[in-house]
Amino acid sequence: MTTRQKLTIVGILVAPVLLGLVLMSLRQSQESSFILTPPGKKIGLVRIFDIIYSSENYVWQLRELRKDKSVAGVIVRIESPGGGVAPSQEIYAEVMRYRDEGKPLVVSMGNIAASGAYYLASPASKIFASPGTLTGSLGVILSFPQYYELMDKIGVKMETIKAGKFKDIGTPNREMSKDERRLLQDMIDDTHDQFITDVSVARSMDIDSLRKLCDGRIFSGRQALSLGLIDTLGGFEDAVGFLRAQVGLSEKAKMMEKRRRHSLWKDVLVQDMFEKLPFLRLARRPGGAYYLLESY
């Protein structure tokens, strides 16, 4: 074995360790200001970024901040095109609990807060967005790959044995039937109606007027304000200032972000790699219906 080959092998073995250490140092630098907070009332912070595949961590953070008596109010910063239907609904339900318990929760929309990200933001006591924020896309999407024509061309066939007419619905191995398409459309229409109903309740909007906006179109923050989908124009600092004034805290009041503690392997080498490397996020996208701006 040559020296170059040995160095290549060593590099391959060492690279994941170095990447893990770098990610860990980045996380520590990001967390330090939120962990070491002095006693007294604080503002809670939850950051919802990227496509929402799971609600578990966001719901946990929101619940912990809601129960924490030292937290006077919470700001949710959103940079997301939406995500899975069920995760969006679960976060929405937790945001609604803030309203039920009378604890202020304000949303600050960043560059994008669309579809499921808008849906979960709708129960907030106040929604801020910049004039150019991309929002809206109030709809549902369910996608299936289809490569049966390619399989026919290369002489590959798939034999399926099933019990139940619709058991292999959505298979890429054959063309979808009219009955299957109708069944899926009915399901998506029902999920869409859930979206419209929940936002109507959260925003106290007339459901028929809202329904006209829920055809998947996107809006700028300024357009969303004119349509009643958000409350005011402003950036993150504007939202923070509003919340501090609402709960009677000075500018010196600290922010606190709740974080779970995991093992090094899960927290850094696995979770952070998926969050920071886009091609890995795409590879793990689960199936199902999405409240999602698909072109993101």
**Catalytically active residues, by annotation:** 115, 167
What does residue 51 show for φ and ψ, rounded to 5 degrees?
-70, 135
Q: If you compute the radius of gyration of the chain from its CA atoms, what whole number of angstroms results? A: 23
Q: What is the DSSP string of the chain?
A: --HHHHHHHHHHHHHHHHHHHHHHHHHHHHHHHHHS--SS-EEEEEEEES-B---HHHHHHHHHHHH-TTEEEEEEEEEE-EEEHHHHHHHHHHHHHHHHHT--EEEEEEEEEETHHHHHHTTSSEEEE-TT-EEE----B------HHHHHHHT-------SSTTTTTT-TTSPPPHHHHHHHHHHHHHHHHHHHHHHHHHHT--HHHHHTT-SS-EEEHHHHHHHTSSSEE--HHHHHHHHHHHHT--TTPPEE-------HIIIIIIIIHHHH-HHHHHHT---S-EEE-TT-
CA atoms in the 13 A half-sphere facing the CB of 111: 3
* Dist. CA 64–CA 159, nearest whole Å: 50
* Dist. CA 173–CA 280, nearest whole Å: 26
13's tokens: 């073995």
